C-alpha cells in the first residue's frame, strides 16, 4: 500500500491523489488503507517517512564525519540519493508535493529541518549553525531542482563527480567558513 501511495503521490502530487486511487492501484479496498493509515494526510506522512528512510539511513555518514569533511559528505549524500533511481522517485514526490501543498511542506519541514539539518547544525556547534546548515542545504536543493527536476543543460548532464567537486567546498564554506 505504501509503495502504491508513493507512486500515486509521485505521479500526481498531493492534491490530486486520493485514498481511493491509492487503494485501487494497490489492489485493495479504500477501507483497508484508512484502517492502516487513517486520513490521506496520514497516508502521505507514512509514505514520505518511508521515502525519507534512505536519507535518514545515509545521514550518519554526515553526522559521523570530521568537521572539515562534513561539506563533502553532505554533498555526496544528497547527489548520491538523487543519482539513484530508486531514491530519486520518492525525492521527486516530496519536492513536487512540498511546493504545492502546505501539508506536504509541513512534513518536509519536520523531516528535513528537524531530522537532518538540526542534527548537522548540532555538530557544527555555532550560534548561527542552523542558518548555516540551511544555506548549505539550499545549494544542494537548488542543484537538485535545476538538474533533476527542471533539467536545465548543461547541469542536467554534467558528471556527478564534477558537480560534487564544485559543490563540496561551497557547502563546507557555508557550514564552517568565516
User: How many Å apart are CA 172 and CA 167, to the nearest integer?
Assistant: 9
Shorter beta-carbon distance to its own copies: residue 26 or 95: 95
Find the binder of its own copies among 28, 146, 164, 176 (CB under 8 A): 146
Question: Is 49 exposed, middle or buried, given 0-12, 13-18 or 19+ CB atoms closer than 10 A?
Answer: middle
Interaction of residue 165 with its own copies, rule CB under 8 A: no
The dihedral through the CA atoms of 28, 87, 91, 124 has a sign that is positive
Interaction of residue 166 with its own copies, rule CB under 8 A: yes
**Which among 29-37, 54-62, 66-74, 150-158 is the span making contact with its own copies, rule CB under 8 A?**
150-158
Q: What does the block give as the cell for 74?
A: 553532505
Min dist CB 28 to its own copies, Å, is 27
Find the binder of its own copies among 15, 29, 68, 83 (CB under 8 A): 15
Shorter beta-carbon distance to its own copies: residue 1 or 7: 7
Min dist CB 69 to its own copies, Å, is 19
Shorter beta-carbon distance to its own copies: residue 4 or 98: 98
Site track 86-105 with its own copies (rule: CB under 8 A), x = hit: ---------xx-xxx----x
Is the Cβ–Cβ distance between 160 and 140 less than 8 Å?
A: no
Is the Cβ–Cβ distance between 154 and 141 less than 8 Å?
A: no
Rounded to 5 degrees, φ, ψ at 7 are: -65, -45
Alpha-helical regions (H) of 38-159: 40-63, 70-83, 85-100, 102-108, 118-124, 129-144
Find the binder of its own copies among 167, 168, 172, 175 (CB under 8 A): 167
DSSP state of 151: -
Binding residues for its own copies (CB under 8 A): 13, 15-16, 95-96, 98-100, 105, 108-109, 112-113, 117, 130-131, 134-135, 137-143, 145-147, 149-155, 158, 163, 166-167, 170, 173-174
Amino acid at each position: 500500500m505504501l509503495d502504491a501511495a508513493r507512486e500515486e503521490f509521485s505521479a500526481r502530487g498531493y492534491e490530486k491523489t486520493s485514498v481511493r486511487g491509492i487503494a485501487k492501484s494497490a489492489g485493495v479496498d479504500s477501507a483497508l488503507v484508512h484502517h492502516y493509515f487513517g486520513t490521506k494526510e496520514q497516508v502521505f506522512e507514512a509514505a514520505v517517512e518511508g521515502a525519507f528512510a534512505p536519507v535518514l539511513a545515509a545521514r550518519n555518514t554526515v553526522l559521523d564525519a570530521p568537521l572539515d569533511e562534513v561539506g563533502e559528505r553532505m554533498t555526496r549524500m544528497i547527489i548520491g540519493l538523487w543519482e539513484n533511481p530508486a531514491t530519486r522517485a520518492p525525492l521527486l514526490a516530496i519536492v513536487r508535493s512540498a511546493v504545492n501543498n502546505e501539508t506536504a511542506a509541513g512534513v518536509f519541514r519536520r523531516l528535513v529541518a528537524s531530522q537532518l539539518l538540526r542534527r548537522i547544525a548540532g555538530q557544527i556547534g555555532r550560534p548561527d549553525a542552523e542558518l548555516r546548515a540551511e544555506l548549505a542545504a539550499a545549494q544542494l536543493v537548488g542543484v537538485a531542482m535545476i538538474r533533476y527536476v527542471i533539467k536545465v543543460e548543461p547541469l542536467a548532464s554534467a558528471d556527478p563527480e564534477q558537480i560534487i567537486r564544485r559543490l563540496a567546498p561551497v557547502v563546507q564554506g557555508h557550514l564552517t567558513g568565516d
